[in-house]
Structure 1
């Protein structure tokens, strides 16, 4: 018996997509996730934005969720907090065409394809990144 066909997300809107990923502890500890999400929504004219908040506590747990955002063709993935932020280098290395912004990630060096921001910078710079997004016609594998 052959395996079931691979499930692939298809975005027929033609719009660029920005995705926010954070863990429940970070989202509950401050209003930073809500501030960045609100800023993303305000900057999203003509773009798709989505939010993913999951109960993860480390990079190993966050990796599959980042992979799901890649499979959903997110053109920009914004992570907030150390759990998702620490998973960014592995995902960025595996998918060099993906773009990431890691906010308060505790990363000490900047991997290729990643922008590191503090929470204070995020509400201003993330909307600018979203406004500059163009639909990536390539595919993330």
Structure 2
């Protein structure tokens, strides 16, 4: 669940939500500890309980998003036009021609060739120098 939730927003908004939730939770805790009326103590306790737990959830989600971004094997094609090859060799047959700006997932590397997967699921080989990691 958290992994799917992590992709809903980028890292920065998750971090901001974490900080705000923890701040509200701590404020509720202070109201609970220092409140004079029973109503203030109840509201402070509930705020503390709910927002500290939300802060923990948001923090964990931000951490998941960070890990997802760091381990992303995505790349952009920076060569004007290049054929997607069946094998890791210039002599292998072409599958199709790709254009600059195409986003691909790098599946592996063999020598000077990267095995890639296109957004439509098609796989093939491209020279390493034609891709820039993102």
TM-score, scaled to structure 1? 0.19
Higher strand share: 2
Greater length-normalized contact order (CA 8 Å, ≥ 6 residues apart): 1
More helix as a share of residues: 2
Structure-2-length-normalised TM-score: 0.19
